[in-house]
Amino acid sequence: MVDVTDFIIGGLSAGCAGFFSNPLDVLKTRMQLQGELKARGQHAVHYKNVFHAAIVVTKNDGILGLQKGVVAAVILHSIRNCIRLGLYQTALKKGILTDENGKTVFYKSFIISSVCGAAGAFVGSPLFLIKTQLQSQAVQQIAVGFQHNHRGAISALKTIYSQHGLRGLWRGANGTVIRAVAGSSAQLTSFLMAKDALRDVAYLKNRPYLISFIASFIGGVFQTVAVTPFDLISTRLYNQVR
């Protein structure tokens, strides 16, 4: 039987995380769009690094400029991870991912986490599209990429649907699904396998929360390395003119 609690907790925790990480996501999006389709040295460099980008955005768009697209981001992370983490946790509880000794089986975790990630990414793709287009919007002197000039998440939804129909809301979904397969499989599989290894460390025997914290950090590193190239492609696909 499916435990609905796993889906709710996965969605709520990711939504909260999305609120606090959104400023960094805004900066990442701007840096990914900077120099799009331009040769090195042939474009203006508004954002030199993440720290410089934070200063530039705050100076030109105000402190709230760091939270552009936050509504779409929170809903996106909630929906996407409700599906992804809920399905993965369900598979874990049913013993699908482990062997007879309770140890994670790499290929099983890799396949299931990929499928779960792809499902969540596909469902949440319209919100990722809207989030990206809102985050890219800036005053003219620091603008990068195409400027869609949406007034907000609801306005963006209406505009995209009226101009491109239902299919337009899922434009770029193929990019984000591939992104999710890479990121989800790397994160969740490395997380579980790290937990298995850490449980054998004497100092951590009775420290489950510390084990989870360390394993989460390891999973995050693997996810970031695996997902970055696909994230760049996905961002540019979402922010295209059409």
pLDDT tens figures, 47-96? 999 999 999 999 999 999 999 999 999 999 999 999 999 999 999 999 99
Q: Taking 90 as the threshold, does the pLDDT of residue 41 lie above it?
A: no
On whether the CB atoms of residues 32 and 231 are closer than 8 A, the answer is yes
**pLDDT value at position 197?**
94
Distance CA 83, CA 95 (A): 19
Q: Is 147 left (phi over 0), alpha (psi -120 to 50) or beta?
A: beta
pLDDT in tens, 206-222: 899 999 999 999 999 99
Q: Taking 70 as the threshold, does the pLDDT of residue 25 lie above it?
A: yes
pLDDT in tens, 104-161: 999 999 999 999 999 999 999 999 999 999 999 999 999 999 999 999 999 999 999 9
**pLDDT value at position 1?**
67
**pLDDT value at position 40?**
83
- Which residue ranges form the domains of the chain, and what is each CATH number? 4-238 (1.50.40.10)
**Phi first, then psi: what are they for 98, rounded to 5°?**
-120, 165
For the residues 219-232, what does the mean pLDDT come to?
Answer: 96
Q: Taking 80 as the threshold, does the pLDDT of residue 228 lie above it?
A: yes
* DSSP H or E run through 56: helix 50-61
CA 111 to chain centre: 19
Distance CA 62, CA 168 (A): 31
Q: Taking 80 as the threshold, does the pLDDT of residue 2 lie above it?
A: no
**Phi first, then psi: what are they for 104, rounded to 5°?**
-65, 130
Distance CA 228, CA 223 (A): 8
Q: Taking 90 as the threshold, does the pLDDT of residue 185 lie above it?
A: yes
Which tokens is 89 given?
């946790």
- Full-model pTM: 0.92
Residue 39's pLDDT band, with cuts at 50, 70 and 90, is confident
